[in-house]
Homo-oligomer: A and B are copies of this chain.
Amino acid sequence: MTTLTVTRTTLLKDLRMEWRSKDAINSMLFFALLVVVIFSFAFNPTAEESRMIAGGLIWVAFLFAAVVALNQTWARELRNQVLDAYRVSPAPPNALFLAKAIGNFLFVVVLECLMTPLFVIFYELRSIGPVWQLIVVALLGTWALVVNGTFFAALSIRTRSREIMLPLILFPISIPALLGMVDATTSILTGEATPDFWIKLLAVYDIVFTAICLMLFETVLNAE
């Protein structure tokens, strides 16, 4: 009954439920495709301009897709108030948080893996900088979004009009991370600057916010 065991069981349970319905996964994929298409419609990408804003476009698209996913995080736990069952049990609260955050992380990463090729095709992107740097940026950036998102989704489940609350608190807090992701991506794509500073920023951001989330989650979960 250590944190790790419970994290694992909870994660497996979530994955099983996800896998069983497959709804969420499938529909998210289609949603991601639509976001890419809508963006390309709206911005009518031509070779030169698009390279300049592609970093921003990609991350904004990921952000919207992720928010939709994050909003569903706790929905399942709230449906029959199953969260209460977790809360009365002796299982450590942080295990629940970690399981949810990791689940969301996997989910959003899958999403990104499928959206990126589409962006590449539609915007005819080619990276001038090294691709592995892009991957590092993507992983760090995704964790930044997801860890805060999971936490704030937990905060916002106690509020009325839940869906809307999440972006409201998530977006402002995430702005530094978003800035880091966008600028790092653009630097790598255009090869004009090194993304080192931004990568460091993202790493620090991840560490700080993961720590804060783990410290505060118990309080948030048990507030009633």
Contacts and interface: CB of A to CB of B under 8 A. Distances in A.
A21 B72 contact: no
A28 B164 contact: yes
SS class of chain A's interface: helix, strand, loop or mixed?
helix
A28 B167 CA distance: 10
A28 B53 CA distance: 26
A74 interface: no
Interface stretch (A80-88, A121-129, A172-180, A190-198): A172-180
A88 to B, nearest CB: 26
A24 B56 contact: no
Given A38-B171, A38-B178, A56-B43, A24 B164 contact: yes
Interface in A146-174: 160-161, 163-165, 167-168, 171-172
Interface string A70-112: 0110000000000000000000000000000000000000000
A43 B37 CA distance: 18
Given A42-B178, A60-B38, A178-B42, A161 B72 contact: yes
B178 A34 contact: no
A132 interface: no
A56 to B, nearest CB: 3
Nearest to A159: B23
Copies in the complex: 2
Interface in A28-65: 28, 30-31, 34, 37-39, 41-44, 49, 52-53, 55-57, 59-60, 63-64
20 contacts: A21-B160, A23-B160, A27-B161, A27-B165, A27-B168, A30-B168, A31-B168, A34-B171, A38-B60, A38-B63, A39-B56, A41-B56, A41-B182, A42-B53, A42-B182, A44-B56, A49-B49, A53-B53, A68-B164, A72-B161
The 5 closest A-B pairs by CB, nearest first: A42-B56, A27-B164, A23-B161, A34-B171, A43-B56
Given A21-B160, A23-B161, A42-B178, 17 more contacts: A23-B160, A27-B165, A28-B164, A30-B168, A34-B171, A34-B172, A38-B63, A38-B178, A39-B60, A42-B57, A42-B59, A43-B53, A43-B56, A68-B163, A68-B164, A68-B167, A72-B161
